[in-house]
Amino acid sequence: MLDLPEIFASTRTIAVVGMSDNPARASYEVARYLSDFYEVIPVNPNHRSIMGLTCYPDLASIPVPVDMVDLFQRSENVMAYVQPAIDIKVSVFWMQLGIENVLASEQLTAAGIAVVQDRCTKVDHAKIRSQR
């Protein structure tokens, strides 16, 4: 069973993969919320910066250690991010609401990475904070 409070407590940096520059998009709103608590790193090859933060084209380009990948991509596109996440040694690979991939989960788990599927970081973080 995943220990979400522990995941959030041990996380310092979150790479938001597929982050949009559109404030109406869920990825933007979630990243804006998380930025009050963590160092958020936008990942989107179509932008140079989002929310005033340097935006990187891919996980391999991020010059600092990343604790969590927060993925906003379709389920069928998840596998493209598995090996890069393993390569940069993330601790947690989080697939947002509606995103699940069994093969990705198996490979990430085998690499020692905690996997969360079909959940929202913002919702879960806020819920845990409200229980304190």
- Rounded to two decimals, what is the model's pTM? 0.96
- Give the residue from 98, 95, 114, 131 showing the smallest Cα distance to 7: 114
CATH number of the domain within which 109 lies: 3.40.50.720
Give 132's pLDDT tier (boundaries 50, 70, 90).
confident
d(CA 117, CA 131): 22
Counted domains in the chain: 1
Range of the domain at 53: 4-130
| Residue 1: per-residue pLDDT | 61
Write out pLDDT tens, residues 81-109: 999 999 999 999 999 999 999 999 999 99
